[in-house]
Amino acid sequence: MPVNFSLEVEVVEPMGADTLVWSEIGGQEFRFMVDGNTSISVGDRVTVGFDPAHASIFDFDNEERL
């Protein structure tokens, strides 16, 4: 079952073919990648979603994959 969040873009980091986007959800840092041709800017409000069954989630304290 997909999970969706509405968030404000804080940092946009172009990396060639991809762009790394920084934001936060519930006070926690959240980063995601979009296609490098995507038009996205700091301050934009976007909705992101993912399927937890296909996500890589890491422990905040020891950085191990859960």
pLDDT in tens, 10-53: 999 999 999 999 999 888 898 999 999 999 999 999 999 888 88
The whole-angstrom separation of Cα 60 and Cα 29 is 10
CA 23 to chain centre: 7
Kindly report the pTM of this predicted structure: 0.74
pLDDT at 12: 97
Domains in the chain (CATH in brackets) are 3-54 (2.40.50.140)
24 neighbors 6 (Cβ within 8 angstroms): no
